[in-house]
Amino acid sequence: MLKQVALIGMPNVGKTALFNKLTGSFQRVANFPGVTVEKKTGWISENGEKTIEVIDLPGLYSLDATTLDEKVTKDFLLQKDKTQHSIHFVLVLDATNLDKSLYLAFQLKKLGYPLLIALNLMDEAEKRGLKLDIKLLSQELNAVIVPTSASTGLGTQELILKIKDLLQNPDDLNLSLPQEIQKTFRSPHYINGIFKEVDELLSKVTIHPLKPDSLSEHIDQWVLHPVWGAVILIFILLLMFQTLFSWSAPLSDGIEFVFSFLGEQVSMHVSDKTFKSFLVDGVLSGVGGVLVFLPQIMILFLFIQFLEDIGYLGRAAFMMDALMRRLGLPGKAVIPLLSSHACAIPGIMATRVIDNYRERLITMMVIPLTTCSARLPVYALLIGALIPDRAVGGIEFFRLPGLVLFALYMFGFLSAMLMSLIFKKSLPQSSPSMLLMELPPYRIPKLKNLMLVMLNKGKIFLKKAGGIILIISIIIWFLVSFPQNNGESHIESSYAASIGRTFEPLFKPLGFDWRITTALIPSIGAREVVVSALSLVLSIEEGSEGFEENMSMALVNQFGAGTLLALLVWFVFAPQCISTFAVMRRETNSYLWPTVMVAYTLLLAYGMAFLARQFSSFLF
């Protein structure tokens, strides 16, 4: 029989970090409540054999679940989850905040669930002076307690042994919670009673109390200051975009050199002209053209993860709440909106923490306007072509391209705010959602976690480059190289030209000719493809020799600055990739809203790109 155990607990107590430690998985962790919004599974392995399935469930404050993510966990406890085989779980408590996390322990104890408790963040609690009589705590709760630290690995092995003991228990629990019992979870008398029991227990088992977290309070005086807080936020973002360009440059140059070298080797050793073109223009130029942006994407993820780990995102939600509410969004929407700068898919999933459906829907609808990492290669390529690399205000570190990149991200974010205002006015009113959110203490991010996130995201991007991007590049190469005439490719008479010309009239007002149109179509699958598609179209047209160095120049020469500006603006607003559409369909359980999303972003992209093209003469 399948052995299965779930991790449950309040939000931000380190369940996912513990899950990763137990299973060797690499699920996303961050320092704010509500990171896990759906259940995730992994395995405890012994001698390479998977022995116990571990389920990581979203956090819940009490069994009286009020948000979608909390209901996932409640369904598990009520055995409504069709994929579950048992109801055994480890309750994860935050040792630095037992006042809070013991509430759930008492609720579960009262219902007769056997308790195996991981007393997590124990290292941090001890550093802050906490001393507990764990034996007494264990007796009072009638629970098995293992002090753990997901960051150091403290207690992990012992916890695995205790999980095995728990699963040896032959009693098959069959707990049902009738409606009458569930109603009591919301009774003030019941809630007051549990808190009283928590206080009594803590006074018994606490040998030395926890020192208050004064550091977080001091930092918040600056970070949450109405003026300095905004200055700090803008500074962090500016620094991030400058760093994207400056730190990544040597690495990007290195990747470009490698692909250029490989191209030269292939040119020297492969004699068949078509096969050589396939390797150099189709594979190396297509994939290499996108891979040069790998360092920028990894640095972007590093920054986002840093902000998440340090505990900044919850603060950003607090600072933005009042403004966001006027625009139809709750402050909590800042978290999915900022996460969407990495990728829109987890961003849309993260909206589950918003309890009001209307506000959740508005957030999902405007997420495509935030700039996901797939747009970064397109921005970087077009900025490189349009913007001179010069210092701003005499400060060498602050370069004009970085500033323009920052402006594009801001442009996307402000457009999202404006659209949410329009949705707010258009959709039927309902009562606003809760802000009610616990702010986590500041924590120094673990370098290892940051590096692992960065490498993992890099790996995902490499897989994408070796998968969909490579496939699309080969298809485009075929379309631009065939049919051949006497063994020669003539791009003007290629299949790509026929397809591009079919759609060309539609995009002509934007200045997009058939070459750009051909590059735009496959970007529905993955946006980065537009870079390889353009490089393919131009390299075959111009010849591959020395092409990489001259890509920017070739773009300006071939299309003109006005068209490139229109293309840049197009990508600020253009619809998200097909995967985003699919996730949106799943989360709204309808085709209507994803269709509206695609329609409005398409219209917006077209209109704004048209305006950009018309006004480009004032700029260039």
Q: Return residues touching other proteins (CB under 8 A).
A: 61-62, 64, 66, 97, 99-100, 103, 186-188, 191-192, 195, 210, 212, 216-217, 220, 224, 226, 314, 317-319, 321-323, 325-326, 331, 355, 432, 434-439
Within 13 Å, how many C-alpha atoms sit on residue 393's CB side? Answer: 4
Give whichever of 184 and 456 is closer to other proteins, judged by the CB atom: 184
Nearest approach, Cβ of 573 to other proteins (angstroms)? 28
Nearest approach, Cβ of 337 to other proteins (angstroms)? 17
* Residue 470 φ then ψ, to 5°: -65, -45
Nearest approach, Cβ of 191 to other proteins (angstroms)? 5
Residue 404: closest CA among 387, 421, 391, 417: 387
Residues ≥6 apart with Cβ < 8 Å to 592: none
Contact 277, 481 (CB under 8 A): yes
Give whichever of 323 and 553 is closer to other proteins, judged by the CB atom: 323
Length of the chain: 620
Structure tokens, 409: 């991200």
Structure tokens, 486: 């006497």
Contact 322, 353 (CB under 8 A): no
Nearest approach, Cβ of 616 to other proteins (angstroms)? 37
Residues ≥6 apart with Cβ < 8 Å to 407: none
Give whichever of 212 and 388 is closer to other proteins, judged by the CB atom: 212
Nearest approach, Cβ of 93 to other proteins (angstroms)? 14
Give whichever of 33 and 401 is closer to other proteins, judged by the CB atom: 33
Structure tokens, 515: 């070459």
Nearest approach, Cβ of 336 to other proteins (angstroms)? 17
CA dihedral (424, 426, 432, 433) positive or negative = negative
Nearest approach, Cβ of 96 to other proteins (angstroms)? 9
Contact 90, 7 (CB under 8 A): yes
What is the Cα 345 distance to its own chain's centre?
7
Give whichever of 45 and 192 is closer to other proteins, judged by the CB atom: 192
- Which amino acid belongs to residue 391? A
Give whichever of 13 and 609 is closer to other proteins, judged by the CB atom: 13
Contact 328, 359 (CB under 8 A): yes
Give whichever of 63 and 519 is closer to other proteins, judged by the CB atom: 63
Give whichever of 296 and 433 is closer to other proteins, judged by the CB atom: 433
Strands (E), 24-162: 40-46, 49-56, 89-94, 115-120, 131-132, 143-147
Nearest approach, Cβ of 22 to other proteins (angstroms)? 26
Nearest approach, Cβ of 318 to other proteins (angstroms)? 5
Give whichever of 221 and 595 is closer to other proteins, judged by the CB atom: 221
* Exposed / middle / buried, residue 222 (Cβ in 10 Å: 0-12, 13-18, 19+): exposed
Give whichever of 184 and 243 is closer to other proteins, judged by the CB atom: 184
Calpha distance 40→56 (Å, rounded): 5
**Helix 294-310 × helix 228-246 angle, to 10°:** 150
Nearest approach, Cβ of 330 to other proteins (angstroms)? 8
